[in-house]
Structure 1
Amino acid sequence: MDTQRRVERTAPRLWALLARLAGDGIDEKHDRDPSMCNSLQQLFALYFKFKGLTEKGCQLLNYMGITMSPMWTKNAVTKLSDEAMRAVRKEFDEHLSVVAHDNVYISFRVFSQKLDKDLQNGHGTAATIYTKRDAPRVSQELNHALQEQRAKGMTSPLDEPAILDLIDASRSQVDEHMVDYILRILIHSEEFDLQTYSQRDAPPLQPLPGVKILPSGPDHIAVQHMLGTMDTPEQSYDDNDKVIADILRQLGYKTGEQLKDLGLHDVIFWVGDQLTVDRMRGLWKFRCQDYNSFARMEYLHLSNGWLHLQMALGKSIHKRHLGTESGMGLKHAFCLLERRGLDTVATPGPFHENLERALYTIATARIRACWLAVTRVQNLQDLRQKMADELLTLANEIYDKYVSPMAVDEEAAFQLEVARDWVYAHALTLNHDLLLYIVLDRAIKIGDVGLMECLLPHLLLRFIAGRNSKYTIEVLEMLQGFHKEWPNEVK
């Protein structure tokens, strides 16, 4: 307060300006001191509230003049939450939206003396709404069209010849993107130095166009909204049933008429990990003979999340190619790179991110070695003497000899007549699986949904070979939907 009086006395104009700025939004009738109630205190109160500040801590900071009172903070958070939910409901009613939910784990700290001093742990469910503001709501006829298409598709499931035809039809697109990445590894290396390469602008060195890329830019940004956290854990079928009901309530489906319209006319796109989708698909089966469309959950369209599918692919590659420290698999590379914590698959923590970085590094090293083997040069810098079209031809040759499934088949046929070289066959398979993961990762990052669809039958073979029955079913469900059960508007 002495500092305040000194500033008021020596710099009255400055203090008047600061008092006016700090008093923004204050009711002048109550003659409140602006130094004790301003926008900065309001911001601090909200910030510390969402950082987990206790009520006693808030009272102390309010007494010191740093934040607002606990009651003001509580009322402000309530008003902000209510306003945010109104905005969510408005956008959900007007635009195409996707719902996603998953488990959430919250630790509650104990600050008072209790008989049970252990930490209290809460298991619940968190849900998120993703809204595409450039996409209108689905048509009122889509619900009925989806039910008809599903009924027809269930009578003609995809069989083995149809899946093999899908693999043959999509092989060229997948091969082209693998060859393109092989070329990227060379031209983006330090030894090649693309910026000083004479033909750096030649067409063969330009990025390969996507199969079907989603539109991007400010007008196509998806908006993310968080719903209120639910105290129901996502464990059993009954829990998932309660979670769905709670999410629908938060989205404004409360009256019987609204639920009837939802079951008859609307389609809600719901995305989750494999466990979430499997539980909700089980609810579908249990309710298939209920009396009305809402009870049968015909408004739901389920889809597995691509992030979890990508994580499952990484774990499948890890399981198939881990090997030993003295072998030529991933574990040998992890030891050389000094990447710790990658020997055992782990779901929590940064395992997936660390594994992905290691897979990119290993793939880069192996493909660079293939460049040296095919061109018979001592350094990648020597390849700067070649023309751009020659480099593309060499990239195709590397793919044909060291990556392509045909190379693995030819090696297997050759080994029937001579002693089997298991190390070489494993090296070819590892090269292909690494590039398969990288092509999928790059397709997801740039939104190339056409390439992602082309990769589905190839991922199916990978999961079948890795004996991952759960994601084999998820990929089969997606392929069955694309080719048998989904109308074009759903696709």
Structure 2
Amino acid sequence: MDSVLSNILDAEDTDYGSNTYHEITTPAADDDDDNEPIGNDEDTEDEEDEGPDSDRWRHRTAILRTQLKPEQLLPIVTQTLDLWKSLGIDLPLFLLALTLLRSVELPTILRNWYAPPRTAKKGSRGMSARGTIDDFCTSLTRKRINADIARSLPLFSSPTEDVSTKALVKIQYNDLIEETKSAAPFMWSLLSEMAYSKKQRERNNTKCPDLMILNMISQAQYSRSQRRGKLQKLHALYLKASGTSARAFDLVHMLGICMSHKWACDAYETLADEKMREAQLAVQRPGWIISHDNVNLPMRAFSQRLHNQNHFISGTATTIWILPKSAYQLPTDANQDLNSHRILHSSEIFDLSRVICPNNIVLERIEAQNIQHVLRFLVDSPQFEKYGHKDHPDLKPPPSVEALPLGTKSKVQQFILKTCEIEEASYDGTEKVMAEIFRQLQLDTEVEQKQTGTERIIPWLGDQLTASRLRGLFRFHAEDLNSFERLDYMLPVFGWFHLLMALGNSLHAQYYGTSAGVGGLRHAFDLLGRKGLANQSTKGPFWHHLDEALHHICEAHFRACWLQEGNVRSIEELLSLAPATLRTMATTIVRQYASRQPIEEMAARDTESQDQQLRQQIMWNADVLVYIELRDAIRSGDVGRMEDITPTLLLRFAGGGNSNYTIELLEMMQGMYKEWPPAIV
């Protein structure tokens, strides 16, 4: 007994956090009942403020403990027990009446009750209260979890009818994480300890389990009531948009991560109807564009029957682009002006000198952009990461030519119409697609058709085949009875993204070469380990991989030009050069290694003195810069730069045997320079 009491006095204090026991008696959330009180503290004991009296008693206990020797403790305990016996109480009754909430000794007392101390290899451990304390802690944990569930309930509440774009876009994971940490601190701490060990916290610098913990709490809320499925709704719509199969959907729904597949289909229909109504209102004002393209959908049947078989759908996907008012300022008679202009100038041919001999201002702008690209290949390299003059005016890009306005007031709205099961490759299919688009937009009535034919101008975009079909229909209907049937409202234009893909394929066809040859794309693909780029394809990720490879090969060529021009062995040796010197070197690189002039000068020499490999590399540099410039101009929205390189694109497609895009570029230039009035151009 003496040794046990000695160990009690000598035991080290353990930091158990707050010494205050605060009992939470918030009612637990009942299943499927979202009306339970939130943060109800009626039965919760008010936490008293700690004052100077508390500190005085703690100090007094500490002094008595230092003055008490272990051998004096047993007689005192014996006398105390005898006194209790004479008074008619025992230890449990005494502890029941005694309040130790403010005592600094309380954690040690509880620890000793849970696991009574003993001298090493001496004596037996006394009877503990482990089972009772475990039951009490379990009960208290349940109460605190239920209290956190009740407080955090509004964060995950989502009524059944609350399926709208406005409600869904308000959900922000980072904000929800912070709000849940505040509303359910105990449960968050508990789950965090479960999901992330101490070693992980010390070892990992980037991994954060907050999103997993948030979803754990969300699943618990959803398990209690389906009306608490805010995140589940968001996840269900994402999985549906990603094309997740119904079987996989059902599994994820069973795990409580998302809503059911049926709910997702119904919600999609609700959101589609909401957006369709917005689109129908948006097209009532001028300034919108239509683009559509073919789409292939494989439809799978898990349980096949005679009436339910796997099948393949060839359909058409359509997008409506609503331009901002600042980008579309046409007069009210623009439709009549367009048709009058067509009648007067459609038989005239635009000046071909724009293509063959561009003016010097355009050539200077193109050269300035090429110099900027060559500079960026150097400055954006890893070796120039610590270059201190990146913001110098000499490294700034040239001014834009005719950039589209940016900002919230210039935001373009996008509406995706319902996919129609109509194949658009034929003229008949294209006409049916047009009729379906007008039907979905509720522009198929006689009144709307009259307004479309006489007042509206609709640019109609698509790939080369779509633009060709639309232009053919425009010719076929030229003698119809009214302006709507004659398609007087339509401006068929090809999509520049498809032209960019065609330009990349043209470079691929010209410079592919062989594995043994030096300088060809095939040789570079083999060195880089790029697979799947041998044969051109319009399906799959071919263009994405080709675009990436063209950029990497282009950067390598021009960084080699920097080494050659700087007469150095590594890029790091150029770090000491001033920005003005770098711009001068970039200008020399463009004029000597990426233009037509050195090729013409080399062609004037004798055949034996010509360096064919250098000639090939200069041709590649000049041609790939056109691709880089078009890509950058499209991304930055500078239509002036796109117009500047249009003659170069026309000559490339004409020389490369691509008659389709040669015709498309000629048609666009004919419209810009002859058939379209200045207000539309």
Q: Distance in 2 between matches of 1:397 and 1:436?
A: 18
Which residue of the partner structure matches residue 471 of structure 1? 661
- Secondary structure in 2 aligned to 1:467? coil
Name the structure 2 match of 1:212: 402
Matched, 1:443 2:633: yes
Of residues 161, 166, 171 in structure 1, which corresponds to 2:358?
166
| Partner Cα distance (1:403, 1:26) in 2 | 62
CA contact (8 A) 1:95 1:133 kept: no
More relative contact order, 1 or 2 (CA 8 Å, 6+ apart) = 1
Q: Is the 8 A contact 1:22 1:34 kept in 2?
A: no
Please report how far the alpha carbon of residue 236 of structure 1 lies from its aligned counterpart in structure 2 after TM superposition: 0.6
Aligned pair in 2 of structure 1 residues 263, 367: CA closer, same or farther (>3 Å)? same
- Shift, 1:386, TM fit: 3.0
**Shift in Å, 1:113:** 3.6
Q: Which runs of 5+ in 2 are unaligned?
A: 1-27, 32-138, 162-222
Report deviation, 1:440.
Answer: 0.9
Distance 1:117 1:220 in 2: 47
Q: 1:260 to 1:455 in 2, by over 3 A?
A: same
The equivalent of 1:458 in structure 2 is: 648
Match in the other structure for 2:582? 391
Change (3 A) 1:115 1:75: closer
Which of 300, 324, 328 lines up with 2:490 in the alignment? 300
Q: Is it true that 1:289 corresponds to 2:479 in the alignment?
A: yes
Which residue number in structure 1 is paired with residue 620 of structure 2?
Answer: 430
- In the other structure, the counterpart of 2:426 is 236
Give me the whole-angstrom Cα distance separating, in 2, the residues matched to 1:240 and 1:364. Answer: 42
Answering whether residue 363 of structure 2 is matched by residue 363 of structure 1, we say no
2:347 maps to 1:155: yes
CA 1:18–1:140 in structure 2 vs 1: closer, same or farther (change >3 Å)?
same
Read off the aligned partner of 1:380 and give its amino acid letter.
I
CA shift in 2, pair 1:42/1:451, >3 Å: closer
Task: Encode CA deviations 1:105-150: one digit per residue, 9 max, x unaligned.
Answer: 1111112243699731111101011112344574331111111222
Judged with a 3 Å threshold, the aligned counterparts in structure 2 of structure 1 residues 270 and 69 are, in CA distance, closer, same or farther, namely closer
Matched ranges for 1:235-384 at <5 A: 235-327=425-517, 328-384=519-575
Structure 2 counterparts to residues 16-165 of structure 1, below 5 A: 25=159, 35-40=225-230, 51=243, 54=246, 67=259, 70=262, 76-94=267-285, 96-114=287-305, 119-135=310-326, 136=328, 138-165=330-357
Q: Which amino acid counterpart does residue 357 of structure 1 have in structure 2?
A: E
CA–CA separation in structure 2 for the residues paired with 1:153 and 1:17: 72
With 406-415 and 73-82 compared, the bigger mean Cα shift is at 73-82
- The separation in 1 between residues aligned to 2:671 and 2:663, in whole angstroms, is 12
SS of 2:289's partner is strand
Per the TM alignment, residue 395 of structure 1 is displaced from its structure 2 partner at its CA by 1.2
- Counterpart amino acid of 2:419? T
Quote the Cα distance in structure 2 between the aligned partners of 1:388 and 1:201.
Answer: 10
Equivalent residue for 2:680?
A: 490
Is 1:133–1:221's contact at 8 Å kept on the other side of the alignment? yes
Q: 1:137 to 1:393 in 2, by over 3 A?
A: closer
Tell me which amino acid in the other structure corresponds to 1:308: H
Q: Compute the displacement of 1:484 (Å).
A: 1.4
Please give the secondary structure, in 1, of the residue aligned with 2:425: coil
Equivalent residue, structure 1, for 2:375: 183
Seen in structure 2, the aligned counterparts of structure 1 residues 312 and 75 have a Cα distance that, compared at 3 Å, is: closer
User: CA separation in 2, counterparts of 1:387 and 1:203?
Assistant: 11
**Structure 1 residues 14 and 171: CA distance shift in structure 2, 3 A:** closer
Q: Quickly say closer, same or farther: Cα 1:148–1:69, change in 2 above 3 A.
A: closer
Show CA shifts across 1:281-339 (max 9, x none): 11111111111111111111111111101000000011011111111211111111111
Aligned length: 481
1:44-64 CA distances to partner (integer Å, 9 max, x unpaired)?
Answer: 7656665556599779969x9
- SS of corresponding position for 1:414: coil
Q: Distance in 2 between matches of 1:309 and 1:390?
A: 36
- Cα distance in 1, alignment partners of residues 461 and 295 from structure 2: 16
Q: Which runs of 5+ in 1 are unaligned?
A: 28-32
The answer (yes or no) to whether the contact 1:94–1:137 under 8 Å persists in 2 is no
Equivalent residue letter for 1:163 = V
Could you say which structure has the larger radius of gyration? 2
* Secondary structure of 2:312 counterpart: strand
Deviates more, 1:363-372 or 1:153-162: 153-162
Structure 1: how far apart are the matches of 2:468 and 2:439? Answer: 23
Which amino acid counterpart does residue 343 of structure 2 have in structure 1?
A
Output the TM-score relative to the length of structure 2.
Answer: 0.64
- Please report how far the alpha carbon of residue 372 of structure 1 lies from its aligned counterpart in structure 2 after TM superposition: 2.0
CA distance in 2, matches of 1:365, 1:126: 39
Give the 3 Å change call, closer, same or farther, for CA 61–397 of structure 1 in structure 2.
Answer: closer
Does structure 1 residue 410 correspond to structure 2 residue 601? yes
Cα distance change of structure 1 residues 212 and 43 upon mapping to structure 2, 3 Å threshold: closer
- State the SS of the aligned residue for 1:145: helix
Determine if contact 1:93/1:137 at 8 Å carries over to the other structure.
Answer: no
Q: Give the letter aligned to residue 445 of structure 2.
A: T
| Shift in CA distance, 57/408, structure 1 to aligned 2, threshold 3 Å | closer
- For the structure 1 residues 331 and 26, does the alpha-carbon distance in structure 2 shift closer, same or farther, using more than 3 Å as the test? closer
Write the distance in 2 (CA, Å) between the matches of 1:438 and 1:155.
35
- Aligned equivalents of 2:252 and 2:514: distance in 1? 58
Q: 1:14 to 1:430 in 2, by over 3 A?
A: closer
Q: Which moved more, 1:150-159 or 1:170-179?
A: 150-159
Q: Counterpart of 1:404 in structure 2: which amino acid?
A: S
- Return the alpha-carbon distance in structure 1 between the equivalents of residues 360 and 158 of structure 2: 67
Q: Which moved more, 1:460-469 or 1:50-59?
A: 50-59
Q: Confirm or deny: 8 A CA contact 1:45 1:58 kept in the other structure.
A: no
**CA–CA distance in 2 between the matches of 1:36 and 1:385?**
65
1:186 maps to a residue whose letter is L
Sequence identity (%): 35
Contact 1:415 1:421 in 2 (8 A): no
CA distance in 2, matches of 1:206, 1:159: 35
Q: Distance in 1 between matches of 2:565 and 2:248?
A: 70
Q: Is residue 316–residue 420 contact of structure 2 (8 Å, CA) maintained in 1?
A: yes
Whether contact under 8 Å (1:59, 1:69) holds in the other structure is: no
Contact 2:460 2:492 in 1 (8 A): yes
- Give SS of 2:318's match: strand
Q: Secondary structure at the match of 1:212?
A: coil
- What one-letter code is carried by the residue in structure 2 that aligns with 1:249? R
Cα distance in 1, alignment partners of residues 234 and 312 from structure 2: 29
